[in-house]
Structure 1
Amino acid sequence: MRKVVVYELVSLDGVAEEPDDFITDWDDAMDAHLAAVIASQDAVILGRRSYDEWAGFWPGSEIEPFATFINAVPKHVVTSAPLDRAWGNATAVTGDPVEFVRDLKARSGGDIGLHASISVAQTLLAAGLVDELRLVIAPRVAGPGRRLLEGMPPIGLALIESEISPTGHLLLDYRVVR
């Protein structure tokens, strides 16, 4: 069965919204961490807000390794309305996202990435469908903003790997314990 891997940029106080506000430095270790995460992914799930923001940015971006990956990979967008912007390999998921992801996990293929989409990540975590959390924790307190794990039920995690990047970011990979 395929794995669902959530990759999120968060502040030290858990804020995941507007990561450009608290991720102010990016380094080679962070690039390598991201490259390792996406290397095994052949599908991505996005929420509607993330899709709308990213569809306006990534198609013209040269920020690698993510630009090549995200522009080519099949993108499943959780939304209640048709997609306004065209972006290669994107399809709308208009039904129950939990059932859609259960079905997607049962198909053959690589890992399924979930990037940036806080509410979708929370929904799939609460439903027990997330297998791994890959976090980049910034050495900054963001203050206000939506937090990735706010309101979540108890979830056990086992550390897979950890690293401190040269700019002080924590690169943490966890397996969800069932």
Structure 2
Amino acid sequence: MRKIVVYELLSLDGVAENPEEFFGWDDAMDANLAALIATQDAVILGRRSYDEWASYWPGSEIEPFATFINGVAKYVASSTPLDREWATASTVDGDLIDFARRLKDQPGGDIGVHASISVAQALLAADVVDELRLVVAPRIVGSGRRLLDGLPSLRLRAVRSSTSPSGHLLVDYRLNR
């Protein structure tokens, strides 16, 4: 069975919205991301993330993510047709949770959830996420959508943690069931 892996960039106070406004980047974070995406052959995105990314990533040369996201199968949680075309993108067929469960049962690599706060929250609440991989910036933002707001109690087990040269925490958790 495949794993669903949520990868999020957060501030120390849990804000996941608009990380480009408070995030720095360094080589350790690049290596962390490269190792993560090397195991993934599909991603699930929310509609807002899809629309933003479909206008940015096809022309980007920021590696290793540009090659990955432009080539990987992208499933978009949306009730309406996609306005922008982007290679290997399609809308989720039916209910997001049922779709994610069916996708996990198919052969293949890990399934990533990147940047899509509402998708990550829905999948975490439905207990279909296997791993939560966080990069936590050494900054308190104060306001914005937080990844973990509104979720039920979840038991996590830390499986890896390190600090990047720029002070970002790289923390991987497995969900205990």
Taking structure 1 as the reference length, what is the TM-score of the superposition? 0.98
- Contact 1:80–1:94 (Cα < 8 Å) also in 2: no
- Contact 1:79–1:94 (Cα < 8 Å) also in 2: no
Q: Which secondary structure state, in structure 2, belongs to the residue aligned with residue 56 of structure 1? A: helix
- Contact 2:40–2:112 (Cα < 8 Å) also in 1: yes
- Per-residue deviation at 1:169? 0.2
Unpaired segments ≥5 residues, structure 1? none
Aligned counterparts of 1:135 and 1:103: Cα–Cα separation in 2: 25
- Per-residue deviation at 1:162? 0.5
Q: Which secondary structure state, in structure 2, belongs to the residue aligned with residue 167 of structure 1? A: coil
Aligned counterparts of 1:94 and 1:10: Cα–Cα separation in 2: 29
In structure 1, the residue matched to 2:18 is: 18
In structure 2, the residue matched to 1:49 is: 48
Unpaired segments ≥5 residues, structure 2? none
Q: Which secondary structure state, in structure 1, belongs to the residue aligned with residue 123 of structure 2? A: helix
Aligned counterparts of 2:140 and 2:160: Cα–Cα separation in 1: 23
In structure 1, the residue matched to 2:7 is: 7
Q: Which secondary structure state, in structure 2, belongs to the residue aligned with residue 108 of structure 1? A: coil
In structure 2, the residue matched to 1:70 is: 69
Aligned counterparts of 1:153 and 1:58: Cα–Cα separation in 2: 33
Aligned counterparts of 2:108 and 2:13: Cα–Cα separation in 1: 35
- Per-residue deviation at 1:21? 1.1
Superposed, which structure 2 residues align to 1:83-94 within 5 Å?
Answer: 83-94=82-93
| Structure 1 segments of 4+ aligned residues over 4 angstroms from their partners | none
Q: How many residues align?
A: 177
- Per-residue deviation at 1:26? 0.6
- Contact 2:73–2:88 (Cα < 8 Å) also in 1: yes
Aligned counterparts of 1:177 and 1:29: Cα–Cα separation in 2: 27
Residues 92-141 of structure 1, C-alpha deviations (whole Å, 9 max, x = no match)? 11520000000000000000000000001000001000000010000001
Aligned counterparts of 1:128 and 1:48: Cα–Cα separation in 2: 21
Q: Which secondary structure state, in structure 2, belongs to the residue aligned with residue 128 of structure 1? A: coil
- Contact 1:2–1:110 (Cα < 8 Å) also in 2: yes
Q: Once superposed, what is the RMSD of the aligned Cα atoms?
A: 0.6
Q: Which secondary structure state, in structure 1, belongs to the residue aligned with residue 160 of structure 2? A: strand
- Contact 1:81–1:94 (Cα < 8 Å) also in 2: no
In structure 1, the residue matched to 2:79 is: 80
Q: Which secondary structure state, in structure 2, belongs to the residue aligned with residue 57 of structure 1? A: helix
- Contact 2:156–2:173 (Cα < 8 Å) also in 1: yes
